[in-house]
Amino acid sequence: MKFILVTGSSGLIGSEAVEHFDRQGHRVHGIDNNMRAVFFGEPGDTTWNRDRLLKITKKFTHHDLDIRDRTRLDTLFRSIRFDLIVHCAAQPSHDKARDIPILDFEVNALGTLNLLEATRLHCPNAVFILLSTSKVYGDAPNELPLKELEMRWDYARPDDYQGINENCRIDRTLHSLFGASKASADLMAQEYGRYFGMKVGIFRGGCLTGPSHSGVELHGFLSYLVKVAISDTTYTVFGYKAKQVRDNIHSHDVVCAIEEFAANPRPGEVYNLGGGRENSISMLEAIAKVEQMTGKKMSWTYVDQNRIGDHICYISDLRKLKSHYPNWNITVSLDEIFHQIIVDHTQRLSSAGA
């Protein structure tokens, strides 16, 4: 049995990690102060997910704690010697960071440093996982030559077919403040791996998704899209002719990658982690798929101006991760992801109306 700390434990990835490791009989502690509701208002509230976890888990302990609070973190790390830290707490939105630059940096960069340092001081042999993001590459992926297809943008050169790999540069690009605060955390985490030799792994997420997301317009692409479709409201698409492409990975496959790394850590390594080409989809394709799977026409509008620094076509190249961890693969298909999110949102909507 291991002692595992999950930050952001009421969020999408954190809650999946809690469920997964609790099911295996480990002692899981979660940190979450429901800050998603501070960032995004009531629709971002994650207390429903915290309550769900407390009901279904066997040995899970929740701590209503802010990762910016070094004193309380220190007390927690003194009282429990963790074997694994899965750090998922974040201000996760590209666009939101523009309104709250200091809070964004404090949570994403300083919060990560607080956790890395607490780990170094109290449990330096623990494995530390940072959920980083494809936004650390800023808009550099947009420099690849693209071709326009009927429903999506795609890479023009056969060599780029597998998508963006970890050699893409992370500086001299337009990140958004969110991308810059996450890049700071990413670099700091690499340093704790490389400089201190700690077992730190960094996963740069594409679109991470699943039914436990509290999707809002500013964060949680498929979750929010389905929510809008089911609740008969209107979705707004920003730019790129609605042909922008994202690769989507189910939270279960994210946690399985974390588990593989934890079993055989490589200090300071970075991995791109998304759905890869097979789970990639454009905005137009996603709208068509939701319509086909719900049997309802979706209401959406188009704004010509794209989000600043937004990726046009982003597909995670998964070859490095698969070569280091050959037991890992994508197991949840895009259709299954859509199906799960639709079922979950339909249930949430009917229980809200009941």
Q: Which positions lie near ligand NAD, rule CB under 6 A?
A: 8, 10-14, 31-36, 46, 66-68, 88-90, 92, 107, 111, 131, 133, 205, 207-208, 213
Q: List C-alpha distances in Å: 344 to 59, 146, 214, 352.
A: 25, 35, 11, 12
- Nearest residue to 89 via CA among 64, 72, 71, 125: 64
The one-letter code for the residue type at 176 is: S
By C-beta, is 11 or 265 nearer to ligand NAD?
Answer: 11
**Shortest Cβ distance from residue 277 to ligand NAD (Å)?**
17
Residue with Cβ nearer ligand NAD (106 or 299): 106
Nearer to ligand NAD, 18 or 287 (CB): 18
Eight-class DSSP state of 160 = G
Q: Tell me, what DSSP letter sits at residue 242?
A: G
Looking at the Cβ atoms of 31 and 228, the one nearer to ligand NAD is: 31
As given in the structure block, the two tokens for residue 154 are 């795609």
Report the residue number, 8 or 163, with the smaller CB distance to ligand NAD.
Answer: 8
Contact 317, 247 (CB under 8 A): no
In the complex, minimum distance from the CB of residue 8 to ligand NAD, in angstroms, rounded to a whole number = 3
Report the nearest approach of ligand NAD to the CB of residue 66 (Å).
4
SS3 call for 309: coil
Select from 250, 220, 249, 238 the least CA-distant residue to 283: 238
First to last CA, the chain: 41
CB of 106 to ligand NAD, least distance (A): 8
Nearest distance from residue 336's CB to ligand NAD, in Å? 17
CB atoms near residue 157 (< 10 Å): 10
Counting DSSP H helices and E strands in the chain, the numbers are 12, 14
Structure tokens at 341: 């999110």
- Residue placing its CB nearer to ligand NAD in the complex, 35 or 127: 35
Which run of H or E residues covers position 352? Answer: helix 334-353
Residues 6 or more apart from 292 whose CB is under 8 A from it? none
Name which of 18 and 230 has its Cβ closer to ligand NAD.
18
Least Cβ distance, residue 227 to ligand NAD (angstroms): 14
Give φ, ψ of 118 to 5 degrees: -60, -40
| Residue 86 or 342 having the CB closest to ligand NAD | 86
> Residue 260: which of 127, 151, 157 has the closest Cα?
127
Nearest CA among 241, 282, 101 for reference residue 176 = 101
Q: Least distance to ligand NAD from the beta carbon of 157, Å?
A: 25
Choose between 90 and 230: whose C-beta lies nearer to ligand NAD.
90
With CB atoms as reference, the residue minimizing the distance to ligand NAD is 11
Q: SS3 for 85? A: strand
